[in-house]
A and B are shown apart, each in its own frame.
Chain A
Amino acid sequence: MIDIDFFDQLDRFTFMVRKRVSTLYKGTRRSVRYGKGTELVGFREYTRGDDIRLIDWKVYARTDKLFIREFEEEKSAITHILLDSSRSMDFGRPYTKFEYGAMLGAGIAYLVVKNSEKFAFSTFSERIAINPPRKSLSSIVSIVDELERMEIKGKTKLLRAIEEFTDVLRTRSVVVLISDFLVKPEEVRRALMRIGRHEIIMIQVLSDIEWELDVYGSVEFIDSETGDKIEVYATPSFLEEYKRRLENHIEETEKIAREVGADFFSFRTDMPVFESMLEVIEKSRY
């Protein structure tokens, strides 16, 4: 899936990207918390309980009143990358959706680390496996290693995974959600509403199989996750209708994304991964 060559390409890609944008997030995210820090942003009158070390004595000398200094705290947001590892992601050529998503996720993590920021790479299917935030390139390699060995299984329980995720999420973060989003749109909406206060980037990955159903005649389709079956007589008109429905599904997912203020991208596994990554970087608000 991801080899040394990929990381070499990623390096070159990062350099190229840096030329176009200053950072993935256009500068460090500014925390709105006030407290100790390096940058003075203002004064306010002393009230009982304030830290007396913050009293500005020069101001007191001039005004005979006690004022304390206020500083802006610089805090970098953590980029949480959530990769769908359910059974439906194990389809696609030349890469499976999972591999493709993993590359996208690894690429984003790499850029975050290069920007001296933290990332956390988690996978989900029916439950979410949350990893702690990291800051080193070596951690990306170990994560890639883990992803290589991971068994792609289980059903997509997006809402449940997000609910578990929000239980541990304390601060406002960037959430990159990578999945095929082949679930009911209502579930996507409810999941996004749970993390609506965060900055969300939704990356949909679909395989060629989903787009190009190369069948004709009597076919029994079997859902890879649920085992449900549907028997159809596949004719050109049926395939056209299916494509139309798929496009509708994607449009609806995108619409839901916009409603919560998320960025939405949809890629096919046969698209060059770096092109996809570039599109994400260029078109996301960050």
Chain B
Amino acid sequence: MPLGEPLGLLALLGAIPIIVAYLLRPRKVRMEVPSIIVLFEAYRPKRFERIFKKLVKDTLLPLQLIAILLFALALSGPYIVIGEQVSSQNVAIVIDASGSMMADGRFEEALKKAEGYLGAKNTIVVAKSRPMVALEDAPPSEARKVLSGLRCGASSADLSSAILLASEKLPRGEGTIVLISDLSHYRGENPVGAISMARGNGHTVVVDEVVGNGNTDNVGIVDGWIESGEGGYIFHYEVKSYYQPRNVEIEAESGGKKTKTTLNLGADESEFLTTQLSAGTSVIRLNVKDSLSADNIAYIYIPTRGTREILFIGNSTSPALVAMDVMKENYVKSITRQSSIPSLAGYDVVVVGDEGAKISKELGMMLKAYVESGGKLVVLGSESLMSDMAIGELLPVEIKGTFNETILSVVSKSEVVDGIPFNGISVVKGLETMGKEGSITLVESSMGYPVISYWEFGRGVVVYVGLSDMGGWDDFPSKPEYPIFWLQLLNWLTGVGDAQSYNVKAGMLMPLGSMKEVITPSGKVITDLLLLDEVGIYTVDDKTYAVNMFDSLESDIGFKSSLEPGVYGGGATYTLERSENRMDLTWIALAVLGVICVGELFILRRRGEL
């Protein structure tokens, strides 16, 4: 407990004469009497008194000592801090939450330093692969709570974007940005540029370095990729030792089998290894003790494959049908709209192609029921969609008309469109569309019309592929990537894709389309935009993803960037004026002292000495 006048504690010396008097007091008299029977009747202590007497021989002594203590305490002016007033301006704290900050106690040091910078109003920006505002314009007490809940990610941090974001949150012309970082590797632009811009906005920027315990030794798995072949899948990975030679024991577990290897690495030396993978989750572990543990483990996930049941409703000469049919994992049934439509239940995906005519009301209702119950529907572009009432409700876009000529571009990263050069597709015609609320556009035209988009409808998914099926609007079907697009789309829809797509590097941002429950390596979250930044296994919508650090720069925890610690703008040093709101406890001490004194008087009276 803090004291306003510590010298008041000198009053404790008053306990000395009391203790001396107690020690010098006459000892207990022992007296033999004929019988204690009458004495016992005269003094029959209650049970509580008997127990109390065993503990405290003389009640007055401890009471008097407590009284002296309370008196001394009252003189010392005790108080508690019930709040803080900081006279400084607004503060935006940018905390580096990259992978290297997990090493050696650096992040804990950063959080502690951050508390020391808290001002009257506080904004906290967490610098990860994407900067995030964790708190805006809040008092120190709230800021402390948020700080205590922060954690690092296993990816590098975009410090420059984080500083710029912090600068946006502060009022122009005032405020301080505090960057707390190990000043190791970063991603994106050089933070110096962002600092200059922040200064230009009138903010002072403080760069504070954290060093942890100064240990830089590290060995980790810095890269890894999956190769598929006739015999199955093989995982290639690189192990590197930084600054020191090491003997590394490597344990690989896959399909219930474990293997061990020992590696001898020189300082700053790396080696490439391989291991066979079975379907499911495999783990490679480096059994070492070093400063950064996040890169000592690699998770690999190989999805299990099965045959897909696909129903194609469209023209039998559709290039989409051809592309799907060639895949050995697909069993494709092709029908036209005039056919008797079978029950759609049991099909993994239903693809509706261009037959040059609207969909019947009956088919529309079947498709709606199918999607609502969890089915996956792909609708290919055609002019008949423009006024198709039966299927219009299901589409993730509103169709307004047609356009001529455009260049396509990918607007959202997705395994569906990954690796497909959409900008190389020649498009002479397309449908003017507007994305409905809740839809996600993967590819759009130069005018911003969604060309490939999807959304969730009921419990299912509807994908709109606005590229022509039969209309000859574009040359996509002639591209070698066309069947790859269909493979990726179907893999994505059915949860089975290229093995590598289920194994990502930490720092990837995955839009989910709607709020979903995600099982992360550390628990559960509900989000619609998932940042995969923890090393481990994520599960969303029955899809599993393995996330690893695999960053040789971030694993080099001894590396120092060119960014220097210091104060940018303002004076050479940075000081924060703060004052405490105190609650004086003197009156409480005096009140308890009063009670003790009354208690002593009561005891003396009970004894008959008063």
Contact = CB atoms under 8 A, between A and B. Distances in A.
Interface of A: 87-91, 97, 180, 182-184, 207, 209-210, 213, 215, 217-225, 228-233, 235-238, 240-242, 244-246, 249
Contacts of B26: 217-218
B608 A235 contact: yes
B340 interface: no
Nearest to A233: B607
Contacts of A249: 37-38, 41
Contacts of B34: 87-91, 97, 180, 182, 207, 209-210, 223-225
B33 A224 contact: yes
A184 B37 CA distance: 8
12 contacts: A180-B34, A209-B33, A210-B34, A218-B29, A219-B28, A221-B33, A222-B31, A225-B35, A230-B43, A237-B608, A238-B607, A242-B42
A217 B33 CA distance: 16
B249 to A, nearest CB: 70
Given A217-B26, A238-B43, A224 B608 contact: no
Contacts of A183: 35, 37
Interface in B13-60: 26-43, 53, 58
B35 A182 contact: yes
Contacts of B230: none
B609 interface: yes
Contacts of A207: 34
Nearest to B40: A230
Nearest to A236: B608
A278 B607 CA distance: 42
Contacts of A236: 608-609
Contact of B33 (A91, A244, A245): A91
B30 A223 contact: no
A241 B29 contact: no
A102 to B, nearest CB: 16
Which of B32, B35, B36 has the largest number of chain A CB atoms within 10 A?
A: B35
A97 B31 CA distance: 18
Q: Which 5 A-B pairs have the closest CB atoms?
A: A237-B608, A88-B34, A235-B608, A182-B35, A242-B42
Contacts of A89: 34
Given A91-B33, A207-B34, A221 B608 contact: no
B22 to A, nearest CB: 12
Given A223-B33, A235-B607, A245 B28 contact: no
A230 B37 contact: no
Interface of B: 26-43, 53, 58, 607-609
Given A183-B37, A230-B43, A231-B53, A220 B608 contact: no
Nearest to A185: B37
A161 to B, nearest CB: 16
B115 to A, nearest CB: 55
Q: Which of B28, B34, B39, B609 has the most CB atoms of chain A within a 10 A radius of its CB? A: B34
Given A91-B34, A231-B28, 11 more contacts: A89-B34, A91-B33, A217-B29, A224-B32, A224-B34, A228-B36, A229-B36, A230-B43, A231-B53, A238-B608, A242-B38
B212 to A, nearest CB: 62
B29 A219 contact: yes
Contacts of A215: 29, 31
A87 B32 CA distance: 11
A52 to B, nearest CB: 62
A74 B4 CA distance: 102
Contact of A223 (B36, B43, B608): B36
Nearest to B603: A233
Contact of B37 (A182, A213, A222): A182
A253 to B, nearest CB: 11
A180 B38 CA distance: 12
Contacts of A237: 607-608
Contacts of A221: 31-33, 36, 39
Contacts of B28: 217-220, 231
Nearest to B604: A235
Nearest to B53: A231
A157 to B, nearest CB: 13
A222 B42 contact: no
Contacts of A241: 42-43
B286 to A, nearest CB: 70
A191 B535 CA distance: 92
A86 to B, nearest CB: 9
A225 B33 CA distance: 9
Contact of A220 (B30, B40, B43): B30
Residue from A88, A223, A246 having most chain B Cβ neighbours under 10 A: A223
B112 to A, nearest CB: 55
Contact of A245 (B31, B32, B38, B608): B38
A98 B41 CA distance: 25
A116 to B, nearest CB: 37
Nearest to B30: A220
B366 to A, nearest CB: 96
Nearest to B34: A88
Contacts of A220: 28-31
Contacts of A231: 28, 53
- Chain B CB count within 10 A is highest, among A89, A229, A241, A245, for A245
A135 B27 CA distance: 55
A71 to B, nearest CB: 51
Nearest to B28: A218
A232 B35 contact: no
Given A215-B29, A230-B43, A246 B38 contact: yes
Nearest to A206: B34
Contacts of A213: 33
Contact of B609 (A184, A219, A235): A235
Contacts of B38: 182, 210, 242, 245-246, 249
| A213, A220, A233, A237 interface centre (most CB from chain B within 10 Å) | A233
A229 B30 CA distance: 9
B101 to A, nearest CB: 66
Contacts of A180: 34-35
